[in-house]
Structure formats: structure tokens, C-alpha cells
Amino acid sequence: MESHLGLIEDSFNESYSLWAREALDELPDNFTITDPCISGHPIVFASGGFLKMTGYSRSEVVGKNGRIFQGPATCRRSVMEVREAVREERAVQITLLNYRKDGTPFWMLFHMCPVFSKEDGRVVNFVAVQVPISRKLRRFRSGFVGGHVGEDCNDVNEVVFGSCRREVCSDSLLELGRVLALDSDVRELEIEEPCEASDVEKRRAASAINNVLSVLTHYSESTGRLVCGKRCSLSGVGHLSSSLTISLGRIKQSFVLIDLHLPDMPIVYANDAFLKLTGYTRNEVLGRNYRFLNGEDTDSLTSNHIEESIRMEQACTVRILNYRKDKSSFWNFLHISPVRNASGKIAYLVGVHMEEGCANQGGRGHGLSPEMRQLGTVGAVKIAVRSSSMAAGPSKP
């Protein structure tokens, strides 16, 4: 867990300079920043406003996936829409019922957008702004359509809990409970469209997004890893989509993905478990040939056997002597398998690594055999690659 939090710290610090957190903290808005490249797509930054709104402390939120704020009455279809926006690397604006730490629900306008690396067009972060939906504006909306709403803006501090379908305002949690209980009794026909946000709220969300983006852009200048709100280029060699990296990030077993069609077959993805096993950082691994763990005492026959299997487009399992970054060696129980994309062609190789003797690590003693865990990883990678290469581009129902 600690190493996971370490990765999260690094994720943020590598992209943005030291003062970024401070500058972000000065923004009044409620927002979170997530990193799709880390396993579980965790939150790496949460603003003060956001913490205040949800009742969580920063340490309770950072490292967690945004789904911890969902609850029993959160619309599952809306959750799916957010998930799809992440997979398709696009912005989304949607009303959502979330839950505070104390279990009370609240309606808010959720506006999320990707942050791209200027260098290679990769998605490095997602920014998600949450604007609580207020009663006055909603009434306003139903009363006047297209009227002036700006003047009321300052007045809108009062957040209404519970359902938007009933224009309710509660002063106490007790009353809130009653209102919710009442609400679940409503049996009339109604479109399951959660409350719509007003134009003011929509504008507020959009401007908050712009604020965050401009801070991130500014504070990424000094690290040289410039980010921007629009994808500028997609030149990255072996570039993987967010949908693929998120799917791959779910997989716990140590593995790398190798692009068969690039010169010298470089590693294009390495997961956290692989970095932990070998002691390298991600940047030291990406772009290297898969043989880079071999060393002077590595048996060349074994190494040839792997080459031969790759050429024959077959899976193979070997026991091979490999070396970590610190030069210490270990017996690697290595499984390599071809992986096809959605057109049915072999696109990648997956290499699943397991240190001999530690084969039960992560299996908590009484789990599956190491072979089965390796094969499971192969399966999960096959699905991730096949599914993420099917897409026809952004689609909205």
C-alpha cells in the first residue's frame, strides 16, 4: 500500500513542479485529479473545497478510485457514462448523485476532462470538477427559461440534498432522512433523468476546469513535461490509449506488453508489480527490448527458445536467469504469449514474470498455482487489448 502511495506522489511530482499543489489549493473550486496510468485509476489530488464538501480528509481520498463516492441511489447509467468518457479520453458533463463520508447523498454537476501530455498526446490526468446543484437555480430554471440567472449567483450557497424531483430543502440531516424516505415511495411515472443543472452551474463547472487546467499547464512548464487541455499530437511511439492502460492497470501480476511491430520489439507497458520485481522505474523500462533483464549468466539456449516461440507465434514458459537494476539475479518463471487485437492479428506479446521461490507471493498461501495466475494474466491482457482496439471512436447515446 505504501509503495502505491509513493507512486501517487511521484505521479504528481514528476509532471508538476513543487508549487502546483499550493496553487491548486488556492482555487476555490471542488475538484479532484486522477492518474489513469496507475493501477486502479486513483485520485492523486483533491482540492480543499472538495474535501470540505464530502467530509473526507485528504488521506482518505488520495489513492482511492472515484467510485468510493457512489452509493445505492447513484444512477448506474450515469456511472457508465463517466466510465466511457474515461475510456474514450473525452470530456463529460453530467449530473450525479454522490455520497458524503457520513452517508448523506447530494446532487452535483460532474464535469470531467482529460489532460494531455503536450509531447506525445498521451492522457496523463483527468480533472473532475463537482458543482453542487442548488435549489434556487433549479427553481429558476423551471420558472424562467433562458432568463437572467447571473444576478442570483452569489446567493447560491445553499445546497439541497435528496432528490431533485421534489423541490425540497432540508435544514437538518433528520429531515433529510425523512425526505429521502418519502421520495423512495413515489410511484408515479417519471423519466429517470436526474436533476438537470442550470446554465450557471454548467458555466461554473467549465470555468473551474479552465482554472485547474491553467494551473496545471503553468506548473508543468518547469518540469518539461508540458500538459494541455487539448490533444496536440499523437506522435508517441507505441502509444497506448487510456482505455487500454486502465484495463491493464487492473492486473496485479507482474507483466510487460511488447509491441511486435516496432523495431526491436520494445516494451510499451510495464505494470507496477514488474517495476517492484525488477527495481527499475517506468521510464527506464519503456522502449527497452524485452531481453534487457538478461545478463552474463543467462542461458542462451533458453533465450533462443523464447525467440523461436515468438517466431512461431506460440506461447512458451521458461525458467530463465534474469537481473534486477541493482545487478542481483533471480530465477524468473517467465511466460510469453502472443496477443491479438480486434482485427484478429497478433499485435503484442505479453510477458508474465514471476520470481521463483516467491511464486506464492500475492497468492496469500492457499491460492492458485503460479501457472494459473500467469495464465489468468495472459487472459486479462488479451481481453484488454482486444476490447480497447475495437472502438469506433467517441460515441454518445
Partner 1 sequence: MKKKHGAKLPLYAFKKLEKLVSDNGSSDHEERGEPPVAFLDSLLLGEWEDRVQRGLFRYDVTACETKVIPGRYGFIAQLNEGRHLKKRPTEFRVDKVLQPFDESKFNFTKVGQEEVLFQFEASEDGDVQFFPSAPIDVENSPSVVAINVSPIEYGHVLLIPRILDCLPQRIDRESFLLALHMAAEADNPFFRLGYNSLGAFATINHLHFQAYYLAVPFPIEKAPTKKITTLDGDVKISELLNYPVRGLVFEGGNNVEHLSNAVSDACICLQDNNIPYNVLIADSGKRIFLVPQCYAEKQALGEVSAELLDTQVNPAVWEISGHMVLKRKKDYEEASEENAWRLLAVVSLSEERFQEVNALIFEAIASGVDVSQNTTKEQEAEAKPQTDEEVDAIKNASRPTMVSGTQECPV
Residues interacting with partner 1, by CB under 8 A? Answer: 67-74, 76-77, 80, 83-84, 98-99, 101, 103, 184-187, 189-193, 243, 247, 250-253, 315, 339-340, 342-344, 363-364, 366-369, 371-380, 382-384, 386-388, 390-393, 395-397
* CB atoms inside a 10 Å sphere around CB 325: 13
Minimum CB–partner distance for residue 225 and partner 1 (Å): 29
Q: Which is nearer to partner 1, 148 or 187 (CB)?
A: 187
Least separation in angstroms between CB 336 and partner 1:
12
Nearer Cβ to partner 1 (134/243) = 243
Rounded Cα–Cα distance for residues 215 and 279 (Å): 33
Task: Report the distance separating Cα 368 and Cα 385, nearest Å.
Answer: 24
Give the integer Cα–Cα distance in Å for 368 and 371: 8
CA-based max dimension of the chain: 79
* Least spacing, CB of residue 179 vs partner 1, in Å: 15
Cα gap 241→88, rounded to integer Å = 8
Residue 106 CB, nearest distance to partner 1 (Å)?
12
Q: DSSP letters of 345-358?
A: SEEEEEEE--BTT-
Nearer to partner 1 by Cβ, of 137 and 378: the residue is 378
Residue 65's CB: how many other CB atoms inside 10 A?
12
- CB-nearer residue toward partner 1: 122 or 335: 335
In terms of CB distance, is 1 or 263 closer to partner 1?
1
Q: Are 24 and 215 a contacting pair, CB within 8 Å?
A: yes
**Residue 391 Cβ vs partner 1, minimum distance, rounded to whole Å:** 5
Pairing of strands 227-228, 105-117: antiparallel
